[in-house]
Amino acid sequence: MIEPAKFKPKTVYVIYIASTPEQVWQALTSSEFTRQYFWERSVELEPKLGGAFVLRLPDGRINVKGKVIAYDPPRKLSVSWQVEWPEEFRKLPECLVTYELAQAGEAVRLTMTESHSWDVPDAILAGGRIGWPAILSSLKSLLEAGRPLAIAMEPPKEMIEAIKRLR
């Protein structure tokens, strides 16, 4: 079992969304929403501590798998995050992804924190630092304007190179 205390926050992204915590929670945890803003991935979440977490590609392959580490709807969700595809990314040690939701005036403040248990190089962190703003900007557009954004993106080259160098 994972020890959350060993994981240190490395990337934090805060975004305010004109919505309710319940709606943002639903957008984070239901696949009808994630398919629209998270590059067509479906989220599968067993809604309890220790439950299974999966991000699935449209063709059925597993992109990310993990376990539910914190579950407190609609305030906090934390999952362990082991990348399964692309295959060479399996060498990456699992990380923790945590969403925290708080009412802020008439909006919701959503804080995403990516935490790591090892001395992860910036080249590898670049993946999340480039990806999360795109994913969460698209989520905000979907909830507020009814339309996600069209942001095509590949993992940065520096990240792929750094993963190849991992043992």
Partner 1 sequence: MTDKPKFVYVTYIAAAPEKVWEALTKPGISEKYWFGYRVAADGNPGDLMTATSPAGKLSHRDPIIESDPPRRLVYGWKPLEKDKPDERPSRVTFELKSFKGQTRLTVIHDEFDEGSKIFEMISKGWPAVLSSLKSFLETGHALEPSWSEEDRKRVADAEARA
151 binds partner 1 (CB under 8 A): yes
- Three-state SS for 94? coil
- For residues 55 and 42, the answer to whether their CB atoms sit within 8 Å is yes
> Nearer Cβ to partner 1, position 5 or 150?
150
Q: How far is the CB of 72 from partner 1 (least distance, A)?
A: 21
Q: Taking contact as CB under 8 A, which single stretch among the options 9-17, 43-51, 87-95, 156-164 is the one that binds partner 1?
A: 9-17
Q: Are 136 and 110 in contact (CB under 8 A)?
A: yes
Q: Enter the DSSP assignment of 99.
A: E
8 binds partner 1 (CB under 8 A): no
Site string for partner 1, 86-125 (x = CB under 8 A): ------------------xxxx-x----------------
Q: Nearest 5°: phi and psi at 46? A: -85, 115
Q: Count residues binding partner 1 (CB under 8 A).
A: 23
Q: Is residue 52 a contact residue for partner 1 (CB under 8 A)? A: no
Compute the chain's Rg from CA coordinates.
15
| Residue 17 in contact with partner 1, rule: CB under 8 A | yes
Which residues contact residue 121 at a Cβ distance below 8 angstroms, ignoring those fewer than 6 apart?
Answer: 162
Which residue matches tokens 């994972």? 2
Which residues of the chain form contacts with partner 1 (CB under 8 A)?
Answer: 14-18, 104-107, 109, 130, 133-134, 137-138, 140-141, 144-145, 147, 149-151
